[in-house]
Structure 1
Amino acid sequence: MTKTIAIIGGTGLTEPKQLQVISAHDVQTPYGSTSAPILEGEMAGYRVLFLARHGHPHRIPPHQVNYRANMWALQKLYATDIVSVNAVGSIAIDAMPTRALVLPDQIIDYTWGRIHTYYQGDLEAVKHVDLSFPYSESLRDLLAQAAHHAGKSIVNGAVYGVTQGPRLETAAEIVRMERDGCDIVGMTGMPEAALARELQLNYASLALVVNPAAGKSNSVITLKEIQTALDAGMTDVRDVIAQAIRLFYED
């Protein structure tokens, strides 16, 4: 089977500047519309799919993203491996400061009300997938190598706490999450990882820290500061992705 890599761009990455777009696919799914047309193109001569998770322009909040349609459509276009870009806050601020790149290896899901499975209403068809290790080890290793080739430092291993959004967390919620073992916090890591596992897709997160979590700095979090970190950090993200695509197809 021919392998194909797909990138899901999050906040700060709604368009792939390095991608030479060949076509845009409006995929019809049993679960409704995708967040945006899926772009198919070439990067360094290799086939790449790209989907803007929040739409293009950015308009869909994290709790209203149609995660099932997005993942199903990527598989329909023959994606085998998916790199999800996630903007996150840092709980372990000393180890993962603002602008740090992080490869999480675990998830704690605090979301609610999101349709998080393809097995809805047909109990005879239910498969209880194993999510002990929610991310693909091979894809995480590839991203770690890509960061090295791009000359970027990356934190390899972290627990990603996924919250409902769209509001940021309270300081007390962050204290609870820290007790639970979370290192970073964001709003889009689930149910993507679980849906990818149900579809038997390799899936990994490339997370960018854009702010200290609530109560982890001496000042209030401002959207201006988050945007500044996004603008600066996404350059590093793009460099790592470019190397990852090259390594993925040259392997």
Structure 2
Amino acid sequence: MTQKKVRLAIIGGTGVYDPRILENIREEVITTPYGQAKVRIGTYAGEEVAFMARHGVDHSVPPHLINYRANIYALKMLGVERVIATTAVGSCNRNMKPGDFVVVDQFLDFTKGRVSTFFEGGEAGVVHTDVTEPYCPELRKVLIAAAQEVGVHAHPTGTYVCTEGPRFETAAEIRMYGQLGGDLVGMTNVPECVLAREAGICYATVSMVTNFGAGISPNPLTHEEVLEVMAANGENLKKLLFAALRQIPAGRGCACGSNTALKV
């Protein structure tokens, strides 16, 4: 494990496997109480930034089998204070079209079989974490401002519906999610954002809409469609991340790290 504190991290979702925005990249494998996590660390504008490919560099890990606890714990061990995550999502909201970006502000959790906390009693204790505002408000402002700076269309709010996967949703499920207030549907943001909050790490997600959900889309859903839209819009995502990294203030002005009980 590196001895120098790494303050910032990017977690790349589907289609974001390569930390090309960074220089002088090195790879580290970090051993945590929950297993090993692989991270690549490079520099941007003179500052070290950690990069994790959520699904592995070859998209070999399905969403329901990602070791979310090991990933977040490893970032905590590195000293990471802020995480910007990317996700590829379907849309339940006709106003959020393929190619659009969304700076998520709420989630609905429809996962079924995932461990979603560091605190399972015993030595870890029992901790009930407040997630009234699950995404860091300071980082969200940074992402919104970064999108405006580079001319990328980004919706400033959106509710992310997290499903178990790896299957896509039925048309009836998409209708239900929309009726409940969901805007986007994906498979990875929970428990990742919850674990980050438990660890006292600022966390924000920028989602790229790759398709309309089942029943809204005129065509059957495919993973290839997702990758095609990600590839076509990848340069805009890269610009947005560049700008966001530049704008993140040195000190934290939010409350994300004030009540964490996780000790590393």
Per the normalisation by structure 1, the TM-score is 0.94
1:17 positional shift: 1.2
Overall identity of the aligned pairs, in %: 38
Distance 1:119 1:230, change over 3 A: same
Partner of 2:10 in structure 1? 7
Partner of 1:103 in structure 2? 103
Q: How far apart, in 2, do the equivalents of 1:87 and 1:224 lie? A: 12
Unaligned runs of 5+ in 1: none
1:250 positional shift: 6.8
CA contact (8 A) 1:86 1:208 kept: yes
Q: How far apart, in 1, do the equivalents of 2:224 and 2:125 lie? A: 47
CA contact (8 A) 2:103 2:157 kept: yes
Question: Superposition pairs for residues 154-193 of structure 1, below 5 Å?
Answer: 154-193=154-193
CA contact (8 A) 2:211 2:217 kept: no
Letter in 1 for 2:114: R
Partner of 1:246 in structure 2? 246
SS of equivalent residue, structure 1 residue 33: strand
Partner of 1:64 in structure 2? 65
Distance 1:135 1:29, change over 3 A: same
Q: How far apart, in 2, do the equivalents of 1:116 and 1:74 lie? A: 17
SS of equivalent residue, structure 1 residue 238: helix
Q: How far apart, in 1, do the equivalents of 2:51 and 2:226 lie? A: 24
1:197 aligns with 2:194: no
Partner of 1:33 in structure 2? 36
CA contact (8 A) 1:3 1:81 kept: no
Letter in 2 for 1:139: L
Question: Superposition pairs for residues 85-234 of structure 1, below 5 Å?
Answer: 85-93=86-94, 95-122=95-122, 125-234=125-234
Q: State how many pairs are aligned.
A: 247
Distance 1:32 1:250, change over 3 A: closer
Partner of 2:49 in structure 1? 48
Q: How far apart, in 1, do the equivalents of 2:109 and 2:201 lie? A: 20
CA contact (8 A) 1:108 1:159 kept: yes
After superposition, the C-alpha distances for 1:181-231 in whole angstroms (9 at most, x for unaligned) are 100000001001110111011000010001111111222223332221010
1:44 positional shift: 2.7
Letter in 2 for 1:13: V
SS of equivalent residue, structure 2 residue 237: helix
CA contact (8 A) 1:46 1:249 kept: no
1:20 aligns with 2:58: no
Q: How far apart, in 1, do the equivalents of 2:244 and 2:207 lie? A: 14
SS of equivalent residue, structure 1 residue 82: strand
1:235 positional shift: 1.6
Q: How far apart, in 1, do the equivalents of 2:55 and 2:169 lie? A: 20
CA contact (8 A) 2:129 2:198 kept: yes
Q: How far apart, in 2, do the equivalents of 1:240 and 1:27 lie? A: 28
1:116 positional shift: 0.5
Query: Which 4+ residue blocks in structure 1 deviate beyond 4 angstroms?
Result: none
SS of equivalent residue, structure 2 residue 30: coil
CA contact (8 A) 1:7 1:49 kept: yes
CA contact (8 A) 1:19 1:41 kept: yes
After superposition, the C-alpha distances for 1:28-83 in whole angstroms (9 at most, x for unaligned) are 1000122xx21111123222110010112210000000000000001111110001
Q: How far apart, in 1, do the equivalents of 2:105 and 2:49 lie? A: 24
Letter in 2 for 1:228: E
Per the normalisation by structure 2, the TM-score is 0.90
